[in-house]
Amino acid sequence: MKLINQDADFALKALLTIAGRDGNVTSVAALVGPLGIPRPYLRKIMQRLAREGIVRSFKGRGGGFILGRPAGKISLAEVIRVFQGPTSFKDCLFKARICPDVRTCPLRKAIGRLEDRLAGELEALSIASLVEEDKGRNDIQKARVQGEGSLEPRMKRREP
């Protein structure tokens, strides 16, 4: 079972990159290198996001993409639905051959409750919240690197 397919994953990565550029137009060429996604494949994904209004596209020299609305208003659930349709784990595991009445199946009811909670979490997560989370992670990594750099001269002094 895979929650996010490859198209949705690439779309989310592209959206996070665009959101991190503070409203500047981002070309497909600027996305291809850092994301490692083949250009034709990425163009197809971006065109689909543009059709859905998640991004706006600009043609010609200096063209590219910007977010179609604020990053805080674009949820993960919405992006996943664009590329996968509704996320559902409620299908009978046994293809209804064993269960005479799937409406009373306790496993199906439990999975339904989990799915509802997951859907709520995916709706609550936005592109903006992921950008902020990534920024926080990058700040921590920078602090670690700077901290390691400041320890290095002391280690060299201890060597004979």
Burial 79-96 (b: 16+ CB within 10 A, else e): bbebbeeeeeeeeeeeee
> Using 50, 70 and 90 to split pLDDT, how confident is the model at 159?
very low
State the alpha helices, DSSP H only, in the chain: 6-19, 28-35, 39-51, 76-84, 106-124, 127-158
DSSP 12-37: HHHHHHHHTTTT--B-HHHHHHHHT-
Q: Other CB atoms closer than 10 Å to residue 136's CB: what's the count?
A: 10
Please provide the CATH number assigned to the domain covering 6-87+126-130: 1.10.10.10
Question: For position 26, what pLDDT does the model report?
Answer: 93
Selected residue with higher pLDDT from 29 and 156: 29
Between CA 76 and CA 127 the distance in angstroms is: 7
Which residue bears the tokens 């209804």? 96
Residue 22 scores a pLDDT above 80: yes
Helix (H, G, I), strand (E, B) or coil at 109: helix
Give how far the C-alpha of residue 42 lies from the chain's centroid of Cα atoms, to the nearest Å: 14
Distance CA 157, CA 160 (A): 8
Q: Report the C-alpha gap between 53 and 155 in whole angstroms.
A: 55
Average pLDDT of the chain, as a whole number:
81
What would the pLDDT profile of 79-108 be if each residue is shown by its tens digit? Answer: 999 998 877 666 665 555 556 665 677 777
For the stretch 45-68, pLDDT in tens is 999 999 999 999 999 888 899 999
Q: Higher confidence at residue 22 or residue 158?
A: 22
Question: Averaged over 66-71, what is the pLDDT?
Answer: 95
Residue-level pLDDT at 156: 43
| pLDDT number for residue 157 | 42
pLDDT at 50: 96
